[in-house]
Amino acid sequence: MKTGYIIGIDSGTSMVKAALFDMQGNEICVASRSTPVEEPHFGWSEFDMDVDWKEVAGVISDLMGKCGVDKKEVLAIGLGGKGVGVCFLDKDNRPARKGILWNDARCAGMTREWIESGKMEQIFGATANWLMTGDVGILLPWMKEHEPEVLERTAHFCLNTNWMCYNLTGEFGSNATDFYSQIDETRTYSDKVMEIEGILDLKDKFLPLQEPWEICGHVTEQAARQTGLAAGTPVASIGWDVVCCSAGVGAVDDGQANIILGTSGVIMLTMPKFAHSPMLGCQTIHNIPGKWQQLIAPLTGTPNSDWFVNNFTCADKLQAEKEGRSVYALFDEVIDKVNPGCDGTIYHPYMNAAGERAPFTNTNARGNFFGLNLHSDRHVMQRAVYEGMAFANKHCLDAYTYPVSDIRLSGGGSKSPVWCQIFADICNAPISLPGGTEFGAKGVAWNAALAAGYFGSWQEASEAFCKVERVYEPIAKNVSIYADLYEVYKAIPYALFPAWEARTEFLKKHGFQG
């Protein structure tokens, strides 16, 4: 095997990370920078594309300076980043407006209308994708109505990873993970779905497609000066970060699921073929030839825990600071003493302005605690938040029609041993944690090494980079408790549908937002 290093870039919603790996998949060095998110109106989520590239170039430069590796030892660069949403480029390949992110909720009302009218079912019938509020298939009709002048100036629709690739190589490197919702089982753009959405006239603005395991281009002289990389270094892109993360944890075989416990709650299931059910979530190609991934993405990521920590745990923060340790380590210690099931206290993590999208779609959905009493202290509530997010993922796992044989857990939440055990107990299945921390970067790194010819097969590349380090086995007593509480958990949101609708009407009537 050739000696050298691979760099993986993971440009997420609010942070970009660059990681250096050796050819055995060992994580050598990591650098990170913040990437600002803007909210010009309630529920909108946008980013400045030029600022984003500046931070990407900067983090690569930071990594090269930090790791002390000669730039000629870097054999390939892998790219991945925020998917869904849309960016707009003019004829000179300059941004025509701010990019729109995956968690944008400006189309929540339109999404609800499309569901009620049956239009969403028609879309699903064409591509097996249930559109998110920040999806290109619903954003472009909104743009036609509200910002037609931007569409007139736009020559290309792209995503963050295409923008990174263009600035690095002069090529876009687009593949079917980028605008997955416009792709059918032939792995190409679907005229049928674009016609249903009313955007067929814009089809020529979508980028041509290549495969994710192909080289996109090579680092240009200009990009080399900006990043500290060697000009001519090959670049490959998987694209959508959730697919990158699945590759990075080794969820490459049929039936392997990756639960990403991060900013966005995501479950990715690897399958041998295109699937037409269940009627929710999304479907995209894998970076493994011939394989597909079915995504069920509840809007129930770690911001739920962040919200609770930021608003209710001042005393814990002060204690952790006094003891010189992480507040999350303190949480693990105190909530581990709380009874599993929190004595009947249940948390539903529907805190996103766009409501919930899986395993049901309801833009009116909002979070709640159920079963509180005068003895429910903050530690009971904190554990209920952890359990609620695990229940939400279990609710989605149960919706898959292809059998789940193996569960991998990744994302920031997987750093908590207590949370990992809660997932094992609630899912009643072993939870495997791969080695390393930067799984999105690791996935694009081995994919780039494969694309550049340093491995003979995807199996060889994946096995070299992805090794399981820890496994959490379910505890029988806790499994029994959670199985009973899960039935209560599932009943509550459906009972609240009328109340959520009434609350939305109340907000509209009085001009409130929330």
- Residue 370 phi, psi (nearest 5): -125, 135
Torsion sign over Cα 25, 27, 33, 35: positive
SS3 content of the chain, % helix, strand, coil (to 5): 45, 20, 35
Q: Give residue 1's pLDDT.
A: 66
Q: Which two tokens stand for residue 103?
A: 């968690």
Q: Give residue 411's pLDDT.
A: 82
Other CB atoms within 10 Å distance of the CB of residue 379: 18
Q: Give residue 357's pLDDT.
A: 80
Per-residue pLDDT of the chain (514 residues; tens, 9 = 90+): 679 999 999 999 889 999 999 999 999 999 999 999 999 999 999 999 999 999 999 999 999 999 999 999 999 999 999 999 999 999 999 999 999 999 899 999 999 899 999 999 999 999 999 998 999 999 999 999 999 999 999 999 999 999 999 999 999 999 999 999 999 999 999 999 999 999 999 999 999 999 999 999 999 999 999 999 999 999 999 999 999 999 999 999 999 999 988 877 789 999 999 999 888 889 999 999 999 999 998 878 888 999 999 999 999 999 999 999 999 999 999 999 999 999 999 999 999 888 998 898 898 999 999 999 999 999 999 999 999 999 999 999 999 999 998 999 988 899 999 999 999 999 999 999 999 989 999 999 999 999 999 999 999 999 999 999 999 999 999 999 999 999 999 999 999 999 999 999 999 999 998 8
Question: 435-470: b or e for each residue (b if 16 or more CB lie within 10 Å)?
Answer: bbebbbbbbbbbbbbbbbebbeebeebbebbbeeee
Residue carrying the six token digits 């002048």: 149
Q: Which 3 state secondary structure label does DSSP give 154? A: coil
What tens digit of pLDDT does each residue of 185-217 get? Answer: 999 999 999 999 999 999 999 999 999 999 999
Q: Give residue 354's pLDDT.
A: 81
Q: Give residue 132's pLDDT.
A: 86
Other CB atoms within 10 Å distance of the CB of residue 71: 15
* Closest to 465 (Cα-Cα) out of 160, 22, 19, 89: 22
Please say whether the beta carbons of 342 and 330 come within 8 A.
no
Other CB atoms within 10 Å distance of the CB of residue 373: 9
- Residue 9 phi, psi (nearest 5): -110, 125
| pTM as predicted | 0.86
Please say whether the beta carbons of 245 and 258 come within 8 A.
yes
Residue 22: enclosing H or E segment and its boundaries?
Answer: strand 15-22
User: What domains lie within the chain, and their CATH numbers?
Assistant: 3-249 (3.30.420.40), 300-431+469-508 (3.30.420.40)
Name, in order, each residue with C-beta under 8 angstroms of 232's C-beta and a sequence gap of 6 or more.
218, 219
Q: How far apart are CA 215 and CA 238, in angstroms?
A: 10
Mean pLDDT (the chain) is 95
Task: Give 120-127 contacts, CB < 8 A, sequence gap 24+.
Answer: 120/361, 121/279, 122/196, 123/181, 123/193, 123/196, 123/197, 124/279, 126/184, 126/190, 126/192, 126/193, 126/196, 127/181, 127/182, 127/183, 127/184, 127/190, 127/193, 127/283
Sequential DSSP letters for 44-55: --EE-HHHHHHH
Residue carrying the six token digits 């962040």: 306
Q: Which 3 state secondary structure label does DSSP give 268? A: strand
Q: Give residue 280's pLDDT.
A: 82
Q: Give residue 30's pLDDT.
A: 97
